Amino acid sequence: MSLTDTAVRLAKPRDRAYRLSDGRGLCLLIQPSGSKWWRLRYRFQGAEQMLSLGTYPDISLSEARNRREAIRKTLAEGTNPSAERKATKATRKNTFEAVARHYLSGLARHVRVNRRSESTLNKAKWMLETYIFPDLGRRPIGSITAQELLTVLKKIETQGLHETARRAKQKCGQIFRHAIGLGYAQRDIAVDLRGLLEAPIVTHHASITEPGKVGALLRAIDGYTGRRETRSALQLAPLVFVRPGELRRAEWAHFDLDEAQWRIPRHIMKMEVQHIVPLSDQALAILRELQTITGNGRYLFPALGDPDRTMSENTINKALRILGFDGDEMTGHGFRSIASTLLNEQGCWTTDAIERQLAHGERNGVRAAYNHAEHLPERRQMMQAWADYLDELRAGRKTVRRQKDRSAVIRSPEPPGQRAA
């Protein structure tokens, strides 16, 4: 006798599981817990087998019957529906999205274990979900062609997002290489697209580089009336000219104020190489004052109300806006441009010392492992001279060191076995 909607709805649990049959192999299994499961019993090549068709009420009686008929049609075609289902599940594991999710989960573990910034992880997830998954997410990753990937990336380009397209290609390449390791792909097809994307238009971070305007900026910062931690960050930024993320994630444990030195661990640095920042007298004064405010915690610049988190990445830029400097004029990253431009224009310091202090990338892997200490004596002198120069600009004196002062530069010895730059 066939079931009715009422009979299915009113079926009550018993001490032991029991079944209500609907005929042609379909039945409803009622568990003692009250859950109701649709089951289909069938025979294939003489062997009796059982399939789950879902739970009630998520799957109604009519839907369960539709699934039964679809499976019986599969049986009539000589295919085992159980084997087909297993094959479908296996296929789901090797889709581009499945492999990408697996890759992202590993990246998330790396972020947690090594205390890396989550911004890179979040940006990668957003980019994949927004631009790649809709077109390629359900495809088996090993069957995707270079032309198909290029088509998706070109769609991003048509929106004027050339840098996003470039980063998406880079991320897809990492996922294809991950798929090779899992055995789901044979090669990284992203390498076939080299040179086929338009080069992004390079836009430099907005900054002020005219000495007189730099002095006005410094005076404005000194007059900032917001949170004291934010003012300290603004005052310290031009003196150390590290990247904004490296500044806001600074920890007291990484500072030796007696030695006038800040050692930034590799996991915080963009290039993943330890970096040394010699501290000028002016920087030390700011830090000692700040130490009375946040010195008992982990971070120099903790989030408001949560000492276990750092200040927002937008805090510095927002403070600059409050001071009257818009995004086209000055950003938190712009302090690096100020230092790079003016230090090079002064002609007092070697290019290597300036580049090392800016922590720009080193292509040579062996050299990169030791570059945090290269040219350190010259860098120490440069950082103090730079702080003194900023004081002159703040006071309105447009003193500029000229090339003739270069003879006073202390040149740091090169590591053994390396040629002088």
Neighbours of 226 (CB within 10 A): 13
From 360, 367, 402, 406, the catalytic residue = 360
**CB-based burial, 381-406: b 16+ in 10 Å, e otherwise:** bbbbbbbebbeebbeeeeeebeeeee
Under 8 Å between Cβ of 340 and 239: no
Instruction: Tell me how crowded residue 125 is: count the other CB atoms within 10 A of its CB.
Output: 17
**How is residue 161 annotated by DSSP?**
-
Which residue is catalytic, options 110, 370, 397, 406?
Answer: 370
243 is catalytic: yes
Q: What is the DSSP letter of 270?
A: T
Helix (H) / strand (E) element for 22: namely: strand 18-23
Is 394 annotated as catalytic?
no
Q: What beta strand segments (E) does 188-293 contain?
A: 255-256, 261-264, 275-278
Q: Is 102 a catalytic residue?
A: no
CA distance 26 to 270: 60
* d(C-alpha 366, C-alpha 356), whole Å: 15
DSSP 216-237: HHHHHHHT--S-HHHHHHHHHH
Contact 36, 29 (CB under 8 A): yes
Cis peptide bond N-terminal to 200, omega within 30: no
- The one catalytic residue in 36, 231, 243, 356 is 243
H or E stretch at 321: helix 315-322
Distance between CA 47 and CA 25 in Å, rounded? 14
270 is catalytic: yes
C-alpha span between 338 and 281 (Å, rounded): 20
Q: How far apart are CA 317 and CA 306, in angstroms?
A: 20
Of 270, 298, 321, 394, catalytic: 270
Is residue 370 annotated as a catalytic residue, yes or no? yes
In terms of C-beta distances under 8 Å and separation of at least 24 residues, what long-range contacts does 352-359 make, across chains too?
352/421, 353/378, 353/379, 353/382, 353/412, 354/382, 357/241, 357/277, 357/382, 357/383, 358/241, 359/242, 359/243, 359/269, 359/270, 359/271, 359/273, 359/275
Question: Which residues are known catalytic residues?
Answer: 243, 270, 333, 336, 360, 370
